[in-house]
Structure 1
């Protein structure tokens, strides 16, 4: 899997392609996590890695997230580039001590003597009828921690390129994969080892009337809403934030300077979310450009409900369309 021919793949297959590429071209990359070796991961993101690279580089761990997070820190400080998988984002909290107190601070604590080139991967978000601890979106917790990058792909092409960039980055990256997009769409992806830039927003659609800012799983609904609004004569500029920490504020500010209006869409709870930080940045630095208040479309400040009510929690296309109609009318 190291040729550069185009393949039509899903997001989870793009993750697998990126891991194969980087492990084939960098012997310091190792992969660890629960059931990721023999079984290929709960979502099959790591299938085939053990057979190709062996058990010394593809390691099944005990069911111990604290161990996974801490072992990855130790590996990273000693010349390896670990990619550690947590089966679901809701299970990562047992490892927060190592992620927040050690991985994120290693470069600062040692005055640059040691750095921590590791990636913590985790599926996140709702939409697959899973229990609550398998369905939450708490990216804002990690975005608040200095020293951590938080990257969220929203398509197969960006999953491939951003994961390569994350593995090559000399500091820790929390790489959150929207599992309801794992097999939702396919794209042609060249397996050529070309990384995409971190810390950069991607403008997916150009428009003049309103800026739609989103990331991860909500990109699909946002693009569908923009398509519907185009039929009404509303030109939407759709921006995929991709790296929610650190934020590429300049791209967002330039877009809002052009459109004068902004709607932020995310699946996570509204209170203290990344959307609030973006809205605050726009209020501080684009106040005179705004022709209407910034509007957020988000999940609710409740625990993700079980599958019967899950659809009521997740932002819908009609919610985004309604928010845009609101800001356009002002």
Structure 2
């Protein structure tokens, strides 16, 4: 077991523990913290108990909390999604893991037709405090169905929250908030940065707000808007632009549905320009919703058209072409240079 994870999950007295952890380790910390705080929190999924999950996000939890709260399931995504609905309506708080986002589609019937509608269907008598976790996105040389970025599909469904952390600190705080939320949350973890960076995370049980954008960097000339793993290239682009004398404001959307439009509009009102970055394909991507929101709410503030830097309108390619598909730092810099020149 990774030493930082082992230390993080073995505190028994509720005291605050700080560790330098990766994003996947922060997920583990949050799960352990909330399972210790609330006996109704249970974890289920394929290979998540005995093996600790394909990315080891749940390692050590079965040993600490037992097989009744950390459950290996059959390889049946519809079963995982549906069982979580049943558990949630009867007082539990299930955290259900899909091994990869590309495997989640078999569970859409349960997620869309039942979890997302339960509060409305029962006029508030029942609700579904479920977190559906899934690693998503490309960048790890995975085969087909392992590199999906279809977050816009879930953002279109009323009744679902869609949350995407982009750092260890936000993964910890947002996952705690998601588990405590009374309605279903799709929690998408960018596996390309699972172990790319470490941050000091205080395991103090403090959640971060949902439905809120995070301004990572202040700027005056252009607003860079992104989420998930693409935040890494977006911040790198901001650094390069600073060397050219361009001041870029960087916003991590974090919760793409419901969208915090106010933060985005306030930023664009200040900078007058916006560039949106995401690795999902362009057509119907969530960047289009962000662009429409800016056009509707900040049109008179814009000094140039809103620009999107995205993946291509193709299936995510196999690993030899994967780097070509993903938006790169230089792509973002070029887009900003174009909007600045207008």
- In the alignment, what sits opposite 1:161? 173
- In the alignment, what sits opposite 1:130? 142
1:4 is displaced (CA, Å) by: 1.3
Q: In structure 2, what is the Cα distance between the partners aligned to 1:67 and 1:295?
A: 41
Tell me, what secondary structure is at the counterpart of 1:75? Answer: helix
2:254 is aligned, of 232, 242, 252, to 242
1:6 is displaced (CA, Å) by: 1.5
Asked if 1:296 is matched to 2:308, the reply is yes
| TM-score, normalised with respect to structure 2 | 0.96
1:294 is displaced (CA, Å) by: 0.2
1:42 is aligned, of 51, 54, 66, to 54
Asked if 1:221 is matched to 2:233, the reply is yes
- In the alignment, what sits opposite 2:284? 272
- Structure 1: stretches of 5+ with no match in the other structure: none
Q: Runs of at least 4 residues of structure 1 off by over 3 A?
A: none
Q: In structure 1, what is the Cα distance between the partners aligned to 2:315 and 2:104?
A: 17
1:29 is displaced (CA, Å) by: 0.1
Asked if 1:325 is matched to 2:333, the reply is no
For 1:33-72, what aligned pairs fall within 5 Å after superposition?
Answer: 33-72=45-84
**Aligned length in residues:** 330
Deviations 1:75-124 (A, max 9, x none): 00000000000000000000000000000000000000000000000000
Tell me, what secondary structure is at the counterpart of 1:132? Answer: coil
- In the alignment, what sits opposite 1:79? 91
- In the alignment, what sits opposite 1:259? 271
Asked if 1:16 is matched to 2:16, the reply is no
For 1:87-166, what aligned pairs fall within 5 Å after superposition?
Answer: 87-166=99-178
- In the alignment, what sits opposite 1:178? 190
| TM-score, normalised with respect to structure 1 | 1.00
Q: In structure 2, what is the Cα distance between the partners aligned to 1:205 and 1:84?
A: 33
- In the alignment, what sits opposite 2:245? 233
Deviations 1:255-276 (A, max 9, x none): 0000000000000011111100
Q: In structure 1, what is the Cα distance between the partners aligned to 2:26 and 2:275?
A: 29
Asked if 1:190 is matched to 2:214, the reply is no
Tell me, what secondary structure is at the counterpart of 2:49? Answer: coil
- In the alignment, what sits opposite 1:312? 324
1:65 is displaced (CA, Å) by: 0.1
Tell me, what secondary structure is at the counterpart of 2:208? Answer: coil
- In the alignment, what sits opposite 2:4? none
Tell me, what secondary structure is at the counterpart of 1:70? Answer: helix
- Structure 2: stretches of 5+ with no match in the other structure: 1-8
Q: In structure 2, what is the Cα distance between the partners aligned to 1:198 and 1:239?
A: 15
Q: In structure 1, what is the Cα distance between the partners aligned to 2:247 and 2:106?
A: 44
- In the alignment, what sits opposite 1:199? 211
Tell me, what secondary structure is at the counterpart of 2:270? Answer: helix
